Amino acid sequence: MQKKIQSALISVYHKEGLDVIVKCLNDYGVKIYSTGGTYSFIDYLGISATKIEDLTGYPSILDGRVKTLHPKVFGGILSIRDSKEHVEQTNLYDIPSIDLVIVDLYPFEKTVENETDEDLIIEKIDIGGISLIRAAAKNYKDVLVVSNRDQYHDLHSILEENKCHTDLDTRKRFAKESFGVSSAYDTAIFNWFDDYQLSELKVSHSNGKALRYGENPHQKGIFFGDFDKMFDQLHGKEISYNNLLDIDAAVNLISEFDDTTLAILKHNNACGLASRGNLVEAWKDALAGDPVSAFGGIIIANRIIDYGTAEEMNKLFFEIIIAPDYTEEALNILKQKKNRIILVQKDFELDKTTYRTVLNGTLVQDRDSKIETSEDLQFVTDEKPKDSQIRDLLYANRIVKNTKSNAIVLVKDSQLLASGTGQTSRVDALKQAITKAKHFGFDLNGAVMA
């Protein structure tokens, strides 16, 4: 059912992009109610608006904590327009209908990121805004609610195309999105009060991205998270569910190493890895570890990809490459394959907690972020390992930590020689690793095992 917007309440923290909306509403003769800074913003545009305090008869009080919490505001939002009783009561108490509510919330999460002062954080817990959003969303049959500035473009298109009318499906969609906003907001507040101790599991991710499919073509897949905050995709096809699993495994693995290191992964496991004085040598030695499995794999490096390294890499078919950056010459080579995914890894921190669904529930644990050093080792043999062997043992341990169990990795001179992964016994994993190492011509004398 189409409804004409005749009145709007606008009270926002972020003003960017609001001017276009306000001018559009004014062009269609919509009566605007507003508060504080938003009123001043609208007034500056030369557009007439009514202050909320002129509607309610009460000023903003308690340092702005109470502005809109009043029956003349919430009655105008929550009244059911085709209810005789509601119409009688709103007429009796001189409560005007409000057909559009544009409200966003104080930036609580941003404040938590940048502030330690508890009083400042508390003041960024929105009360009036969240109440207005929930009220308008509840009464979506009569009211359109806009709870996020990201919706302004969509709103403007709707107003212009429909001459300031909205239909039920549109109002319900905006209401759904608004409850998503309020849910995420409350989750952030709860987790802060809980000091992130997980006394209850409250997780909220917005902007789910539909994937081509899940792990297999017959499965539906969605990614919830901010991929663009972690990576810039410079080239290639759309990223898939299995690509994301590989990227996650690669990022976790490379985070273990500070020296110039390059890794090749297949199905979440390293099939080649080496640390060298320069990247092209690291690539050659990583590839030597298992050039068969490397075909169609994923490459990750912790240094900028240069022309020489890209030229060598381009001799192999691989799906994804991740690095802190690329020279222009390197990119020109790597982009020769149309579907090859090229990612720039930004500076970001991995979540300190990991989650896994089991038995219709969720397992939660701390991320395994420990990187062992020589001080952590206890020597229980009469013959002590050499310094070079200790370095290789610690190196191997970082790899096996990121390899699917049962796992054995064989390392020498900061190079993965071979691995046995995902076996039902470590004996089988070891046999697999030894067979691979010999097949690719490695001498295991002096190698270490993790």
**CA dihedral sign of residues 318, 398, 383, 426:** negative
Residue type, 319: E
Which residue in the list 138, 335, 337, 431 is annotated as catalytic?
A: 138
- Residue 94: Cβ within 10 Å count: 9
| Angle, vertex CA 164, rays to CA 85 and CA 93, nearest 5 | 25
| Cα gap 450→290, rounded to integer Å | 18
Which residue in the list 51, 86, 235, 267 is annotated as catalytic?
A: 267
DSSP H or E run through 310: helix 307-313
What share of residues in the chain are helix, strand, coil (percent, to 5)? Answer: 40, 20, 40
70 included as an active-site residue: no
Residue 158 CA: distances (Å) to CA of 42, 149, 180: 21, 15, 21
Q: Whole-angstrom distance between the N-terminal and C-terminal Cα of the chain?
A: 67
Q: Which of 243, 201, 241, 231 is nearest to 357 (CA)?
A: 201
| Cα gap 155→173, rounded to integer Å | 12
| Cα gap 414→276, rounded to integer Å | 8
| Cα gap 160→190, rounded to integer Å | 39
Query: 363 — alpha (psi -120 to 50), left (phi > 0) or beta?
Result: beta
267 included as an active-site residue: yes
Q: Which two tokens stand for residue 13?
A: 């923290």
| Cα gap 260→302, rounded to integer Å | 6
DSSP string, 133-178: HHHHHHTTTT-EEE--GGGHHHHHHHHHHTTTEE-HHHHHHHHHHH
What's 406-423 look like in SS3? CCEEEECCCEEEEEECCC
Residue type, 191: N
**Known catalytic residues?**
138, 267
